[in-house]
Structure 1
Amino acid sequence: MLIGSPVNLLVLKRGFAIRHAVRGGPTATGRYTKLEKNIPQIRRKKAWEKAGQDKESWFKRKYAHIHARAKNEGVKDPFGKKKAHTDRLAMIEKRSQAQRQDHEGKFEKRSAIQGLKVNPLMEYVYGTNGVLAALQADKREYYTRVLYHGALPTSIAKLAEAKDVKIEESDKHRLNLLTNYAVHNNVVLETKPLQPDEVSHLQLCNPETGTFQYTEMQLENDYVSRELRYLVNEDKKFPLGLYLDEVVDPHNIGAVIRSAYFLGADFIVMSRRNCAPLSPVVSKTSSGAVELIPIFYADKPLTFFNKSQEEGGWAFVTSCLAKSDSRSNKYTRGKTLEMGDLRGMCKELPVMLVIGNEGSGVRTNIKMRSDFFVEIPFGRADVPGVETPVDSLNVSVATALLLNTLLKSP
């Protein structure tokens, strides 16, 4: 065979192409081909292919009767264990659903504002002592109901039943809403707000009977004379009253009322304007003393001062920084008393102690009509180089110190 002939060259090219195709190499055209394409593939036919059907139809024909028989026979449970387990799970689910519905029902609102607003005509006194004192004193116009959570104290329950006040158990969330999340001790009294009488001025005292007269203003230009008893003992022959001039913090007013009642003051007069009202906060802070001590409002403080001095002979002692305030020197000059001078004063004449605002103190027009002034001495005044922002006492603490001094013998 001649190598160089055209026929021989064609044979050689074909043989080269076949060898490289089997090996997976490049063909005569320069392209590669896969080895698997040149090897015959042996694959078993599926059962549905042999039957000439699609897969889904074949499985339905072959196994449909088995599923139907299992469904008709049901699950075998000879000892009832599976059924007991299923029933127990169903009971647990049913109980959980009932508890969830009961819990959600407690907080269900019929309207968007239900539970957020309370009755504006009512007042919600809270705290064990405050509720007990309110029921004991019976100074309010009427009582609606007692709301409680947990165990209701026996003393409150007996008083509520005696006064025919409805007792209603409630949840703690509702009590928090009614009291604005205050410390309510799980008991709240829904009642009418306190309405102190308005006093015009004080009149003469009778130490023998332990009474004094005062004028109450009912309507405009309608005055009625009243009588009030006061405490009499070895250190006190005349009444001692307390006048609050523009004390704006309800916690301070509550603490002052509590101290006044505990130490033995006879009554309290408050300026109607710019004084914190006798709210449930005051009742809670005073531990119920707001219900037990007589409290009056004075709509015209200057008239109250002038007429009480002229007609009743009352002495008004004002607490202020008399020595340190140069502006008050023209009012306090010759009228300043030491703390010790207050001892035994209630043995000689009726006294009204005047307490002023937490920041600015007693107003100037009140100072002008005061008989005496007293200042609690600063215990660190003699220490050189001492500069401190703590230069005064809280109004309730100062009131307690002055009342205690007034009620002691010299």
Structure 2
Amino acid sequence: MAWVTPRIGLRGPPLLINSLSWTPVRHASLTSAIERGIRKSQNLRGSPSRFPEPARSPPSRPRFQKPARNNFSRFDEDKFVRTGSFEGLPREHRDVRPPRPERVKRHKRKRGQDVHHPTDAVPERIKSEVKIPTSIPYTTPASEFIYGTGAVEAALRCSRRQLYKLYLYQGEDEELSPAKIKIRKLALAKDIKIKMAFAKWAQLMDQMSAGRAHNGCILEVSPLPKLPVQSLRSVSAMTDTHFRAELAPQTREEAAVNGTSDIIPILHPAPSTPEEQPRHRFPVMLLLDGVVDSGNVGAIIRSAYYLGIDGIVFAGRNSAPLSPVTIKASAGAAENMTMLYARNEVEFIQRSKANGWRFYAADAPTPGVPVTHLDRLSMDGSQDGNGHPLAGTPSVLMMGSESSGLSAHIKSHADATVTIPGARHSVYLGVESDPARIDSLNVSVAAALLMDMFLQTRLAVSGPVKKQKMW
């Protein structure tokens, strides 16, 4: 028989008193029982000590040390599932890294050759179904979309505008063309936002270009600078590198687009050989009055830029604006061309003439009017025949509209009239002697011919082209 006697004032479980021995017995807690079971299991494994030290996990191996070679039979699949450790596998099975790709030999880049990365042709995953917006908002109220690879590339290279966003279209199962790859790299170099367009974006880009061919390349930009002027200032010598213009008043917003610099550079042709001296000349400008066709204006700007005209002056309010159609027709030449604007063309002509400039009006040939034929300057600069009056003063060539030519109030202030005589016209009968009645040239063609005469462009002749063998 046993009974429990409470222990007053002492901590711990109560004492169990046996009726025979009166020996106190302490109940074992659950924790101590578990500890005894652990020690007992360790003793059964062969430990010499009655109470051995608890087993410690081995220290973690540094990553830079190679794992020890283990037998394949000791591989624990459950441990691999829990921890992902490949310990126990042979070395050939333990290496799960993907094999290194073969090294691609890089070819040396030749001069003038572009080297493209394989991802340049497909910069993003091509999507066959995309949701397109209903419209494309402008970044600023004055923004405009220019299109075409030539115009967009020229705008990116010249950086005369504010460049906002580039849109590149890529069709399904096709790669970007070399021209688009070059444009995308230029935009990335200038930190310009690029939108890769797919699928039905083609119809939206047609709306952005007003239905004209855009070649899958559209750039949102600010307007092209067109500096308002009142006159052209005097030029002191043929060796001058620039001249100045008298600026007209403009608002703060116009000045942010057009700038405020009155310096106009003079383009001197570079020598073709090291022994040749630079060819200096007085500046030659082009004035357009009433040319309303955007394609003609673009073609004139392209010819003027290529031949070396120093600047173009747009007179009055009748000329075609510098729209995206004009920019595309100029093949990007407008992006680097100096362009001025004269609100009052008569006042502009009078003030510039007072500063030493001479103005020449282009007109169709008139029968019965005596003319003087001028020949080109020879290569050494001497004058042949009747001489060339354009060699001694800065000059302005004035071109009129496609239908009626120069207006009468502008033509009356010209110093002389220049014309291109037709080969089929009689000197006395004029266009009446031609059955087809072709009385003049297209304004862009006539401007190119007259600018070539004014600038004394030399003709470059090379030897015959050798025939290449076809294998």
TM-score of the superposition, structure 2-length normalised? Answer: 0.57
Correspondence 1:321 to 2:351: no
| 1:215-230 equivalent positions in 2, closer than 5 A | 215-219=246-250, 226-230=262-266
What code does the residue aligned with 1:338 have?
Answer: H
Shift of 1:193: 1.5
Aligned counterpart, 1:139: 160
Per-residue CA deviations over 1:253-312 (Å, capped at 9, x if unaligned) read 00000000011111100024011100110110000001111001110101110000002x
Are the equivalent residues in 1 in contact too, given 2:229–2:246 (CA < 8 A)? yes
What code does the residue aligned with 1:134 have?
Answer: A
Are the equivalent residues in 2 in contact too, given 1:212–1:227 (CA < 8 A)? yes
| 1:156-305 equivalent positions in 2, closer than 5 A | 156-170=183-197, 171-206=201-236, 207-219=238-250, 226-233=262-269, 236-305=280-349
Identify the match of residue 398 of structure 2 among 315, 335, 354.
354
Are the equivalent residues in 2 in contact too, given 1:145–1:168 (CA < 8 A)? yes
Correspondence 1:405 to 2:453: yes
Counterpart CA distance in 2 for 1:154 and 1:116 is 23
Are the equivalent residues in 2 in contact too, given 1:198–1:298 (CA < 8 A)? yes
Are the equivalent residues in 2 in contact too, given 1:235–1:407 (CA < 8 A)? no
Counterpart CA distance in 2 for 1:149 and 1:394 is 36
Shift of 1:236: 4.9
**CA RMSD after TM alignment:** 2.9
SS in 1 for 2:249: strand
Are the equivalent residues in 1 in contact too, given 2:425–2:433 (CA < 8 A)? no
Counterpart CA distance in 1 for 2:374 and 2:446 is 11
CA separation of 1:409/1:163 partners in 2, compared to 1, >3 Å: closer, same or farther? closer
SS in 2 for 1:340: coil
Correspondence 1:154 to 2:181: yes
Are the equivalent residues in 1 in contact too, given 2:424–2:433 (CA < 8 A)? no
Counterpart CA distance in 1 for 2:191 and 2:411 is 48
Counterpart CA distance in 2 for 1:258 and 1:304 is 24
TM-score of the superposition, structure 1-length normalised? Answer: 0.65
Correspondence 1:394 to 2:442: yes
Are the equivalent residues in 2 in contact too, given 1:214–1:225 (CA < 8 A)? no
SS in 2 for 1:268: strand
Aligned counterpart, 1:115: 135
Overall identity of the aligned pairs, in % = 34
Shift of 1:225: 7.7
Are the equivalent residues in 1 in contact too, given 2:224–2:322 (CA < 8 A)? yes
Counterpart CA distance in 1 for 2:391 and 2:241 is 13
Counterpart CA distance in 1 for 2:440 and 2:338 is 29
SS in 2 for 1:376: coil
Are the equivalent residues in 2 in contact too, given 1:212–1:229 (CA < 8 A)? yes
Per-residue CA deviations over 1:165-213 (Å, capped at 9, x if unaligned) read 1010123222111001211111000111213110110011142332112
Shift of 1:409: 7.4
What code does the residue aligned with 2:395 have?
Answer: V
| 1:330-345 equivalent positions in 2, closer than 5 A | 337-338=372-373, 340=375, 344-345=388-389
The structure with the largest helix share of the pair is 1
What code does the residue aligned with 1:149 have?
Answer: Y
SS in 2 for 1:262: helix
